[in-house]
Structure 1
Amino acid sequence: MPLPHPPLNPYVPQALGHLPEWGAAPLPLLDAGAAAARAEGLDVFALQLGQPAVVGFSPEWNRALLSDLSTFRSRGSFSSLVPYLNGGVIVTDTPEHAQRRGTLNPGFSRAALSGLTAALRQSLPHFPAGPTDALAWADETVRHLLNVAYFAGEFDDALLSRFLGPLRRPFPAPMLPRPATLAAVRRELLRLGRTRSKHPRPDLLSTLIRQPGWMEDARVSLAAAHDTTTHALAYAVWELAQAPQWHTPEQHPAVIKEVLRLYPPGWMGSRRLRRDLAWRGRTLPAGTLALYSTYLTHRDPALWADPNTFRPERWAHKPPAWAYLSSFRV
């Protein structure tokens, strides 16, 4: 029996399937797919994206997809189609993934990052006093802070802006190849890496260059950090402008969790099925693109009371396991 799926647009060629909606309005498409799945008592639905694809949104699906590495693999997922993310630890599968992640984790640990706190606070731009475009402010602020954290502020800012800019543009902009820009980024990384090998600085690059494949991991992690952090910061500013009573240091942790629940920057993640999978009485064939939607899980009324409302007070209680995904591999 086929999986439920969102309606196809009758005004576009059938061969395109759901691709036009995926590019123009993906969230309504996901909502429609989830509604079709729930109507049949399921937590997965199909999408036609030029290849077989399924989307799941329950905690059980999230747990399986993110922890069953023998069934779900990263290679061949959406990340492989995006030049920014097609490399490094993001697309490394088990058993190499655990080893590669283990070599990177110490440089990104709480203790290691605490040494950057003072430099980042000194570099943090003031928020404008008047009406402000929160997204534009967040974009520039995060790019500047990433430059300080990774490169002690020494990476060419114009090049960094050119490199990261397409990540904020709609699909398919992030998927388009930009060989000249990527070549320039590699040259800049190599220049700074050579400097760090002789004269380490209190930045992430000085830690990364000690690992094999450091240039790829630096480039990929930098891209992954920019767009996600930018949107989280912009939404936090927007919500706090409407609810200033939450703007205190003691309440900021709950605010950030609630922002990441309502507006998860990584609203979709993907894997590829290594083998056939029996799920909820249906067989998902090997090779299927398997997607998980943080957006759908975080707004599921079966998991969250009043899910579409900004309510930081909900974080006084722990959510169900795998109902909240605050960090994950794309």
Structure 2
Amino acid sequence: MGAAAARSAGTDIFGLALGQPAVVGFSPAWNRAVLSDLETFRSRGSFSSLVPYLNGGVIVTDAPSHAQTRRRLNPAFGPRGLAGVRRAVAQAVPPFPAEPTDALAWADHTVRDLLNTAYFSGEFDPALLQRFLAPLRRPFPAPMWLAPTVLAAVRRELRRLGHLRLKQPRDDLLTALVRLDGGLLEARISLAAAHDTTTHALAYALWHLAQDPQYHLPEQHPTVIREVLRLYPPGWMGSRRLAHDLDWQGHQLARGTLVLYSTYLTHRAPEWWDRPLDFWPERWQHKPAAWSYLPFGGGERTCLGLHLAQLILGETLAQLPPLRSLTGHPGPLPGLTLGPRGPLWVRRD
């Protein structure tokens, strides 16, 4: 409704009733401004600051410190840094069950186990990891409340494993992060940010491969992942705070305004996408318009876990058997991340 009204008025932003001044934008030009102008659009005070899971580390670090922090973290999360992690993840992908299976539930525990492998060589207490990540799957305001006892236990487990890595390095992310200032905090924050986003992307990928088995080929998987992330971007909405007054196409936005960019609206906008509501991997034969596709954000603040998420998705899809869809509720449900409204039942074909 808001986007349609904005289009009719010849603009790309609209107001949002949140009990405070807030606007949502959805054009590539808006996305570029919000994600590139780090002096005007600040992370501190945005939605991430309200969620204990995400309120810390590089996610809420603003310019000029952000660039320096990212330079320290990028090697661990880059393709070369993840080479050993890729081998471990490929070996840890569980077999798909023989009986009818809810793709969402299977993706949930599979991603949790693969993240345990990637970060901790599978040595983090599985029951504690489940308790830590479970609230992220609940509707608001649950993700805003993290039980102090669970948080304290997670910190102890991180310190325990970090101490072991200092004595005996492993091919995992913790080995690289524990040697960085604030590395254990970055491990905890990035782990939380990775779980639901990757879980929902994997569940949707399984669902569409079960519905359209012609795409279940190794050479097709990269475009399947891109198309899933276009239709159902887990990070469906991003937010910043205005550091000073801004004139945007004649609209006067005051300092302190909560500004949002909607990945979901951009990815489904007919101005930039043919057949925007269809699952159509063939569209990726052509490069999309700049700043019209941003499942991992963009610019200097591109998601730190981009390569890790793609690694987990790619290695898991590569080992899936042929699937057939049964019944499900794939309609997107917005929460902290964007996921399906209900189970997605599939079975081996």
Separation in structure 2 between the aligned mates of residue 238 and residue 114 of structure 1, nearest angstrom: 28
One-letter code of the match for 1:110? Answer: P
Separation in structure 1 between the aligned mates of residue 197 and residue 146 of structure 2, nearest angstrom: 21
Q: Which one of 108, 119, 138 corresponds to residue 88 of structure 2? A: 119
Separation in structure 2 between the aligned mates of residue 295 and residue 155 of structure 1, nearest angstrom: 34
Separation in structure 1 between the aligned mates of residue 3 and residue 227 of structure 2, nearest angstrom: 22
How does 1:5-44 map onto structure 2 within 5 Å?
Answer: 32-44=1-13
**TM-score, normalization: structure 1?**
0.89
1:131 aligns with 2:127: no
1:88 aligns with 2:69: no
**TM-score, normalization: structure 2?**
0.84
Deviations 1:103-139 (A, max 9, x none): 0000011011122222111110111233210110000
Q: Secondary structure at the match of 1:270?
A: strand
The CA deviation at 1:200 is 1.0
Separation in structure 2 between the aligned mates of residue 100 and residue 199 of structure 1, nearest angstrom: 25
Q: Secondary structure at the match of 1:322?
A: coil
Q: Is the 8 A contact 2:53 2:146 kept in 1?
A: no
Q: Secondary structure at the match of 1:128?
A: coil
Residue 10 of structure 1 aligns with which residue?
none
Separation in structure 1 between the aligned mates of residue 168 and residue 209 of structure 2, nearest angstrom: 42
Deviations 1:41-79 (A, max 9, x none): 111011111211110000000000000011100000000
1:252 aligns with 2:212: no
The CA deviation at 1:177 is 3.6
1:67 aligns with 2:36: yes
Separation in structure 1 between the aligned mates of residue 216 and residue 171 of structure 2, nearest angstrom: 31
Separation in structure 1 between the aligned mates of residue 149 and residue 16 of structure 2, nearest angstrom: 34
Q: Secondary structure at the match of 1:278?
A: strand
The CA deviation at 1:191 is 0.6
One-letter code of the match for 1:257? Answer: R
Specify which structure has the higher proportion of strand.
2
Q: Which one of 218, 226, 249 corresponds to residue 280 of structure 1? A: 249
1:290 aligns with 2:259: yes
Separation in structure 2 between the aligned mates of residue 108 and residue 148 of structure 1, nearest angstrom: 14
Q: Which one of 296, 313, 317 corresponds to residue 286 of structure 2? A: 317
Residue 275 of structure 2 aligns with which residue?
306
Separation in structure 1 between the aligned mates of residue 163 and residue 87 of structure 2, nearest angstrom: 25
Separation in structure 2 between the aligned mates of residue 93 and residue 247 of structure 1, nearest angstrom: 41
The CA deviation at 1:171 is 1.4
Separation in structure 2 between the aligned mates of residue 280 and residue 130 of structure 1, nearest angstrom: 55
How does 1:158-177 map onto structure 2 within 5 Å?
Answer: 158-177=127-146
Residue 319 of structure 2 aligns with which residue?
none
Residue 189 of structure 2 aligns with which residue?
220
CA RMSD of the aligned region, Å? 1.0
One-letter code of the match for 1:218? Answer: A
Q: Which one of 48, 54, 70 corresponds to residue 101 of structure 1? A: 70
Q: Is the 8 A contact 2:132 2:150 kept in 1?
A: yes
One-letter code of the match for 1:115? Answer: G
Q: Secondary structure at the match of 1:327?
A: coil
Residue 326 of structure 1 aligns with which residue?
295
Q: Which one of 21, 25, 44 corresponds to residue 56 of structure 1? A: 25
1:143 aligns with 2:106: no
The CA deviation at 1:36 is 1.8
One-letter code of the match for 2:284? Answer: W
Percent of pairs identical after alignment? 70
The CA deviation at 1:309 is 0.4
Separation in structure 2 between the aligned mates of residue 202 and residue 121 of structure 1, nearest angstrom: 13
Deviations 1:222-251 (A, max 9, x none): 001101000000000001100000000001
Q: Secondary structure at the match of 1:41?
A: coil
Separation in structure 2 between the aligned mates of residue 310 and residue 319 of structure 1, nearest angstrom: 15
Separation in structure 1 between the aligned mates of residue 265 and residue 272 of structure 2, nearest angstrom: 10
Separation in structure 2 between the aligned mates of residue 70 and residue 282 of structure 1, nearest angstrom: 19
Q: Which 4+ residue blocks in structure 1 deviate beyond 3 angstroms?
A: none
Specify every segment of 5 or more residues in structure 1 that has no aligned partner in the other structure, as ranges.
1-31
Separation in structure 1 between the aligned mates of residue 286 and residue 83 of structure 2, nearest angstrom: 27
Separation in structure 2 between the aligned mates of residue 135 and residue 51 of structure 1, nearest angstrom: 35
